[in-house]
């Protein structure tokens, strides 16, 4: 191939069209790239501040290909996987002193009376309680008055009271006469609950006696006798009260008919707090003594005086 001379080469180059460089497009591209880099840097910086504030975590973030920044310095702390409740420490109590004295304990109760079948003649501390019979003067030589352990009967059956072992004091005076017997008692229990228990036992046995009904007759010299139990609540005296007694009936016609015999008894009982009092009379009276206007009023008056102390 024959080489071109200089003039021919210039003519050929003059005929070639060269496109003009678009500087404005290049400028816009550079500006857009710069804005993108600035925006990414702002987002990364905000994220780094938020993570450091929440978890105290240091991190390094790649800003753009080929560019890195040094990780932020912070104390390492493990991110909690779940919210933990704060630990509350109980206040420490001082250790007991070796010389501290033990707490006092109540002394064990020592019974002063152990016979559940009798009311005590005189035991323990009465706390100033007295009986009307304490000041009684026998009217005739045949009368006798003394403090005496006494049984309680429902008709011919003796009663027992386990609660009597809870007494702290007790006093029973018995007046014996040729045709009658009278006694009065005051019972001081260790607490009200024990006194309530005694009255419950008395009430249960009195009710059982009433439920048993009239006794089987006994016959002597062709005359038949039987006993009729009585039991009722005593109202308007103390915290609670009852009346327990009975009377006799007699038959002279081979038990075809019955009439009142001169033999009866009645005991008025009442409780006031931990104190129980009773007034009893038995003798030659006919029928239910508790409803006898004279005898009933006298026994009730004696019982009121006993409860007053």
- Token digits for 70? 């040094």
Residue % of the chain over a pLDDT of 70? 66
The residue that leads in pLDDT, 160 or 33, is 160
Q: What does the pLDDT read at residue 70?
A: 43
H helix count then E strand count, the chain = 4, 11
Residue % of the chain over a pLDDT of 90? 60
Cα 166 to Cα 113: distance, rounded to the nearest angstrom: 8
The residue that leads in pLDDT, 302 or 77, is 302
- Domain 122-308 fold is Protein Transport Mog1p; Chain A (3.40.1000)
Q: What does the pLDDT read at residue 242?
A: 97
* pLDDT at residue 15 is higher than 80: no
Out of 5-14, 37-46, 263-272, give the one with best mean pLDDT: 263-272
The residue that leads in pLDDT, 27 or 59, is 27
SS3 122: strand
- pLDDT digit string (tens) for 121-143? 999 999 999 999 999 988 888 99
Cα 217 to Cα 234: distance, rounded to the nearest angstrom: 30
Q: Where are the domains of the chain?
A: 27-76, 122-308
85 CB contacts (<8 Å, ≥6 apart)?
Answer: none
* pLDDT at residue 10 is higher than 70: no
SS3 94: coil
- DSSP conformational letter for 99: T
Average pLDDT estimate for 25-52:
42
27 CB contacts (<8 Å, ≥6 apart)?
Answer: none
* pLDDT at residue 16 is higher than 90: no
Average pLDDT estimate for 140-151:
94
- Token digits for 150? 């006494």
Strand runs labelled E in 148-222:
153-154, 157-158, 167-177, 180-189, 218-220
Of 13-22, 55-64, 167-176, 199-208, minimum mean pLDDT range: 55-64
176 CB contacts (<8 Å, ≥6 apart)?
Answer: 143, 144, 145
Mean pLDDT for the chain? 79
Average pLDDT estimate for 4-26:
50
Q: What does the pLDDT read at residue 27?
A: 43
* pLDDT at residue 258 is higher than 70: yes
pLDDT class of 157 with cuts at 50, 70, 90: confident
Query: Quick check: pTM over 0.85?
Result: no
- pLDDT digit string (tens) for 215-235? 999 999 999 999 999 999 999
- Token digits for 278? 């009773």
Q: What does the pLDDT read at residue 99?
A: 53
Out of 35-39, 59-63, 101-105, 272-276, give the one with best mean pLDDT: 272-276
Q: What does the pLDDT read at residue 236?
A: 87
The residue that leads in pLDDT, 74 or 131, is 131
Q: What does the pLDDT read at residue 153?
A: 92
Q: What does the pLDDT read at residue 192?
A: 98
Of 90-94, 221-225, 287-291, minimum mean pLDDT range: 90-94
The burial of 273, by beta-carbon neighbours within 10 Å (0-12 exposed, 13-18 middle, 19 or more buried), is given as middle
Cα 193 to Cα 130: distance, rounded to the nearest angstrom: 23
Average pLDDT estimate for 234-259:
96
pLDDT class of 101 with cuts at 50, 70, 90: low
């Amino acid at each position: 191939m024959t080489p071109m001379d200089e003039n021919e080469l210039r003519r050929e180059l003059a005929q070639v069209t060269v496109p003009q460089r678009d500087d404005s497009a290049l400028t816009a591209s550079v500006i857009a790239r710069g804005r993108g880099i600035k925006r990414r840097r702002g987002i990364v910086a905000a994220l780094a501040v938020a993570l450091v504030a929440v978890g105290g975590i240091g991190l390094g973030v790649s800003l753009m290909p080929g560019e890195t920044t040094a990780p932020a310095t912070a104390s390492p702390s493990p991110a909690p996987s779940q919210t933990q409740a704060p630990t509350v420490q109980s206040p420490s109590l001082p250790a007991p002193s070796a010389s501290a004295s033990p707490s006092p304990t109540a002394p064990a109760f020592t019974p002063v009376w152990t016979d559940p079948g009798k009311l005590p003649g005189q035991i323990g501390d009465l706390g100033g309680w007295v009986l009307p019979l304490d000041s009684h003067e026998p009217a005739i030589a045949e009368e006798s008055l003394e403090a005496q352990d006494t049984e309680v009967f429902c008709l011919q059956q003796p009663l027992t009271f386990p609660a009597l072992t809870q007494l702290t004091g007790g006093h029973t005076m018995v007046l014996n006469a040729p045709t009658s017997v009278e006694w009065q008692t005051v019972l001081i229990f260790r607490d009200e609950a024990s006194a309530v228990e005694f009255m419950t036992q008395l009430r249960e046995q009195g009710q059982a006696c009433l439920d048993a009904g009239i006794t089987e007759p006994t016959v002597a010299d062709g005359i038949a006798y039987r006993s009729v139990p009585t039991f009722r609540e005593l109202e308007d005296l103390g915290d609670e009260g009852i009346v327990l007694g009975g009377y006799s009936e007699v038959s002279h016609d081979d038990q075809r008919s019955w009439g009142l015999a001169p033999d009866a008894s009645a005991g008025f009982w009442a409780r006031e707090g931990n104190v129980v009092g009773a007034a009893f009379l038995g003798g030659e009276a006919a029928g239910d003594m508790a409803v006898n206007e004279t005898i009933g009023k006298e026994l009730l008056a004696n019982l009121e005086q006993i409860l007053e102390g």
